[in-house]
Each structure stands twice: as structure tokens, then as C-alpha cells.
Amino acid sequence: MARMPKLRINPIACNGHGMCAELLPELIDLDDWGYPIIKTSEIPLNLLDMAKRAERICPTLAVMILEN
Amino acid sequence: MSSQDYSKSFPRLGYGGAQIIKARASYLGTETLVWDDHLSLLGSAEPYFGSIHHLKRQLAETEIYGRGGAAFPLSRKIEAYQRFSGNLVIAANGTESEFLSRKDAALLTRHPHLVIDGLTILASSLGAATGHIHLKYANAAVASVVASALAERHGFDPVKIEISISNPSVGYPSGVESAVISAVDGSGGKPIYLPDRPIEKGIKRRPTLVSNVETLAQLALLARFGAKWYSGIGTDAEFGTRLLTITNSDGRSAVVEVEAGLNVFELLEALAINLQKTSSVLLGGYFGRLVPPGQVKDLIISAPALKGMGLGLGAGVIAVSSCCPITETSEIIRYLASQSSGQCGPCFNGLPELALLWDTLSRPGNITTVVDEVNRVCALVMGRGGCAMPDGAVILSKSSLRYFESELDIHRQGGCSYSGINSYLVPTDTRKGIR
């Protein structure tokens, strides 16, 4: 079975816009200061489209999907 | 002295310096060994250029743990970068951004050619065409020694070697691997996002191996004299020697070469450092831990042995304090917060919060909820920076909460055991004023 793609945030690029957490509340929380905390890095198939949307929409291009 | 004599003796890097403990600890010599001195002492490194099999064979017998802070096994680093061959760039990291560390500057001043030998041996063995020696901006004297050394051996090294200087505005994170790459590339010298190892797109977007300057000097000795010689000093826990910067509670410091396996208590005693008046010992630098003096007798100079105890030597810093350990922790966290590059939210938001919480802990009063809050903020910060500096603040916070619980109790009851004693662990310009 193929491994699930993984979600990764570039903390240097991230400016805490928080859009990723809006789109993926199942995988991402925001910390006290509005920066994303990845709860689960494995992206289940049913959330992959939404994750790809988060990757495209992030204003600082800090969201990354690593396909295995 | 011929290389034959040298090969039998301790000190090694400390050759020519005064001995502290016979055959186990020595100061470093201070005068630069110029090209002729170097050649007559050690001979030419040329036979070991381009000898990857020789290098790997020696490292298979006796490991060198990286001396920049992470204690990463050199054999594994070489293994990871071997596949890149001709495309590879090697950077010798002499940034030494750890405030209390002086050993890299002392080594480069004394043995510039040994460091360059190590860089050339490694680069030529891995097929790298370019080497960089990256130095701290504040130490022009060291840069001048290294530049003179490169001029002396012009045409000798089969690798092109260039000197670069760290960015003064970056501070503590300037020594981070990715910050070195950014600085050498002229991209500002702040940490950049390079989460994967080996680094495939480093300097000039080429695979880049970064190694501390002392690691390279040790490698140059291992390549020359072989594993049997190298492991003639030390214990099963770790072979060879290492450089340490020891700072006393009056702020005076010394760079020493010590045998691996030496007991830290024995070393401090030989340096006439009085542990009776000591409240804590900083082991490993700001990335390390403050440990209670009572624990010092259990500590030995060995990366793997200390790792087993959840400790480390970091960049080789041991500093003694007679100040309140809670206040010391507070001062170090405040310093780290001041050093953020301002790039990652959890760092530039989290560390000032952590510093404020520790400031409260350092003042006598009701602090129970503050301790809980330290733990909560630590969990928010850990592992979430682009470099590991914020992790250092978390590791120190957690260990100080654990080690100095009884002092925290005294603070809770409105007291402090150490009022009015100076701290020398952090730069004075970030200190809030010692009570």
C-alpha cells in the first residue's frame, strides 16, 4: 500500500495568515499567536483535495505536501 | 619535535601548551604554527588527499562526534554525502556563535593549517571541488590568521578554498548550518528552510556538507596517524580528545584540550574551580543544561556517555555559576529571545513569553501557575522553528524546572538562596541587572 502524503509547514515562510487551519481543521490547529500546529502530518485521502487547496492558497507558500 | 614524537604524545591539539593534568588535560599553545612549523611538526597531509577508503576505514574503528554542538557521528555524515561526489561543496564552520565558546577561535589561531588540512582531506576524499571556511564577523584576528595560512599554502591544496564571514546582525543563529549556507551565498546569513539531511540544495544550490572546524582538525589527525593512534587516548565511551571552553564563576575562561573519558569534577578541580560556591554548572552552552553541582561527579567528557544521561557537551562549553540557577535560566532564556531572527512565529512570539515567565519565576512569590504556563509555552515552541534555537530554550527550561525544583520552592515561599551574586553566563548587554 502506498504511503499517505504528508503535510509540512515551512516555519520561516509562514506569517500566520491561518488559511490552512481554516481549510484543514482536522489536521491543523493554530497556536496562541495564530501559527499553524500540525496535529497529524499524514493526509488521509478524503482530505487530499483540501490540502492541495491549502498549499495553493497560502499567501506565503508555506504549506507543502510531500508525496511519497 | 618530529611527527614521530608528536604521534606518541598528549596533548594533541594542545601541543605546546601547559599541562593541567598530566597526559589528560592541557591548555592550548597560543602562537600560530605557520606553514613551516606545521610541516616540521606533522608532515604534509598530501598522502591523505582523495583517500575516501582510508578515511572510512579509520572512522569505522574510531568515531569522531561532531564538535559544533550536535555531536553527529562523522562517519554517518560522510556516508550521507558520498553519493554527491563532484557536485559537492564543503563548509568548515568556525562561526562559534555560542557566547561562552572560545575553542574554535583558539584552534584556528594555533592550528590554522590543521583545520585546512582536514577541510582539504575531506573535500578531496568526497570529490568536492570547493571548500569554504566560514568565520565569526567579530574576530578579525582569526580571519587574518586563516587568510595568511591560505596564502602560505597557495597551490598546495587540490581544492579551491575561500573564506567567508558571518552576518553580525544575526547573532546566535548565525552558527546554524543553514545560516552558514545563507551567509556564504550572500543571502543574509539567517537560517533558511532546509529540513532534510543530507542538504541537497545548499551553497550555490549544490549539495553542501557543513562541519565544525575542530571536527576537521580531529579528522586531519585521524587521517595522518590512523585509528590505532587516535584511540590510544580516551575510554571505550569515546576515544581521542576534545576542546572545551571552561568559564569560572568570575567570568574568566580557558580553552583546554582534554582526554575523552575525563571526569568533569576532576577537570574543574585541577583548574582550581571551587564547586563549594557553585550553584550550577552550564554544560554544553545555551543549548545545553544547567546542572546542579552535586551531579558534576557523575559527568564524564564523552558525547555518547552524556547523551545516555540526557545531557551533552554541545559546542564544548562548561561554565560555572555562583548565581541563583533560576535567575541564570531566566537570563539565558532572555538572551535567546533577544537573538531570534524574527522569522518564525513560535520563536519570536514564544521565546519572549518564555523569558517573561522565567523572569517571574526568578522573583520570589507565588509561582505555581507560572510553572504550568512555562510547560505549556514550551510545548507550543518545541520543534516549531526553522532552526533549533527555540528548542534550546525549551530544553533548558524543562531541565531547570526539574533540576532546581527545591530552589523554586524557596522562591515560592518568598525567598532566594543566592541574592547579590554576579552572573557571567550571558553577555552583559542583554542582562536585566542582577539582584
Q: How confident is the model over B4-39, as pLDDT tens digits?
A: 466 567 899 999 999 999 989 999 999 999 999 999
Is 0.85 exceeded by the ipTM? Answer: yes
Cα–Cα dist B433/B424, whole Å:
12
Cell 547523551 belongs to residue: B307
Closest chain B C-alpha to A44 CA, distance in angstroms: 23
Question: What are residue A20's DSSP bridge partners?
Answer: none
Percent of chain B with pLDDT over 90: 89
For chain B, which domains are there? 32-230 (3.40.50.11540), 237-321 (3.10.20.600), 325-430 (1.20.1440.230)
Residue B339's pLDDT band, with cuts at 50, 70 and 90, is: very high
Q: Give residue B237's pLDDT.
A: 82
Residue type, B142: V
Mean pLDDT of B293-298: 95
Tell me: the pLDDT tens digits for B48-88? 999 999 999 999 999 999 999 999 999 999 999 999 988 99
- What's the pLDDT at B7? 58
Chain A, 26-55: which have a CB under 8 Å from a chain B CB?
Answer: 31-35, 37
Helix, strand, coil shares, percent, chain B, to 5 = 45, 15, 40
Segment B134-162 shows an average pLDDT of 96
Instruction: Name the band, by pLDDT with cuts 50, 70 and 90, for residue B2.
Output: very low
* Statement: residue B102 has pLDDT above 80: yes
Residue A34, all three cell numbers: 495564530
Domains of chain A by start residue, with CATH: 6-66 (3.30.70.20)
- The verdict on a CB contact (< 8 Å) between A14 and B192 is no
User: Which is nearest to B23 in space by CA: B374, B262, B198, B207?
Assistant: B262
CA distance A11 to chain B (A): 5
Contact A13 B350 (CB under 8 A): no
The pLDDT of B276-305, averaged and rounded, is 94
Contact B349 A32 (CB under 8 A): yes
DSSP state of A61: -
Q: Which three cell numbers stand for residue B86?
A: 563532484
b/e per residue B408-428 (b: at least 16 CB within 10 A)? bebbbeeebebeeeebbbbee
Instruction: Note whether B385 contacts A: Cβ–Cβ < 8 A.
Output: yes
Torsion (CA) B151, B156, B158, B159 in degrees, nearest 10:
-20
Binned at pLDDT 50, 70 and 90, residue A31 comes out as very high
Please tell me if residue B389 touches chain A, with a CB cutoff of 8 Å. Answer: no
Higher pLDDT among residues B117 and B138, named by residue: B117
What pLDDT was estimated at residue B367? 80
pLDDT digits (tens, 9 = 90+) for B374-397: 999 999 999 999 999 999 999 999
β-pairing, B19-21 vs B25-27, is: antiparallel
Q: Are A8 and A37 spatial neighbours (Cβ–Cβ below 8 Å)? A: no
Q: B29 CB near a chain A CB, below 8 Å? A: no
Residues of A in contact with B195 (CB under 8 A): 8
CA distance A46 to chain B (A): 26
Cis-peptide into A44, omega within 30 deg: no
- Asked if the Cβ–Cβ distance from A31 to B191 is below 8 Å, we say no
Angle between helices B325-338 and B389-403 (to 10 degrees): 170
Dihedral sign for Cα atoms in the order B241, B128, B190, B95: positive
Q: Do A11 and B344 touch (CB under 8 A)?
A: yes
Task: Name the amino acid, one letter, at B76.
Answer: R
Distance CA B287, CA B396 (A): 7
Contact A8 B385 (CB under 8 A): no
Pull the grid cell for residue B380.
Answer: 507550543
